[in-house]
Amino acid sequence: MRPSLTNSGRGLACFLEAAFDAVIGVSGGKGGSIDLDRYVPPSHDPQAAWEIAALAILTAVSQYSIAFISSAFAGHIGDLELSAVSVSENVLEGFVYGVMLGMGSALETLCGQAFGGSKSHMLGIYM
């Protein structure tokens, strides 16, 4: 049984679904060919791309705004306080980046093994 990647049948998810069908040979019993009639390139579906991009933009702006606003308020208090906030933000951001990079790498390995071992139910548990 193959997992359903999309309900709309458009964009990259549809291409991945067609590629998955071609690899395991469920489309007509002949593996190795991708049905490109079902594939709609992402450039023809800009709404979905903007939905994802808008969330990424909002996240980046929010993250940088927190550090910027904290530094601005600390700068109004004094020079020593501004330098303390700047150093602590840099140390914390570096630590958090390292932790998140390690967790992301571990998740990539675990999800790859679960998918390769046909244990797709474990993907939801890992994530």
**Cβ-defined contacts of 69-72 (< 8 Å, 24+):** none
Instruction: Give the per-residue pLDDT at 77.
Output: 92
Q: Quick check: pTM over 0.75?
A: no
| Confidence band of 124 (pLDDT split at 50, 70, 90) | confident
**Helix 46-77 and helix 79-116: axis angle, to 10°?**
150
| Confidence band of 19 (pLDDT split at 50, 70, 90) | low
Q: List the single range of 39-48, 97-106, 113-122 with lowest mean pLDDT.
A: 39-48
Does residue 11 carry a pLDDT above 60? Answer: no
Cα–Cα nearest to 73, from 86, 60, 61, 62: 86
How many other C-beta atoms lie within 10 A of the C-beta of residue 18? Answer: 20
Q: Give CA–CA dist 10/42, Å, rounded.
A: 8
Q: Give CA–CA dist 45/41, Å, rounded.
A: 7
Instruction: Give the per-residue pLDDT at 61.
Output: 92
Phi (first) and psi of residue 86, to 5 degrees: -65, -45
Does residue 7 carry a pLDDT above 50? Answer: no
Q: What is the chain's mean pLDDT, rounded?
A: 76
| Angle at the Cα of 47 from the Cα atoms of 45 and 52, rounded to 5 degrees | 110
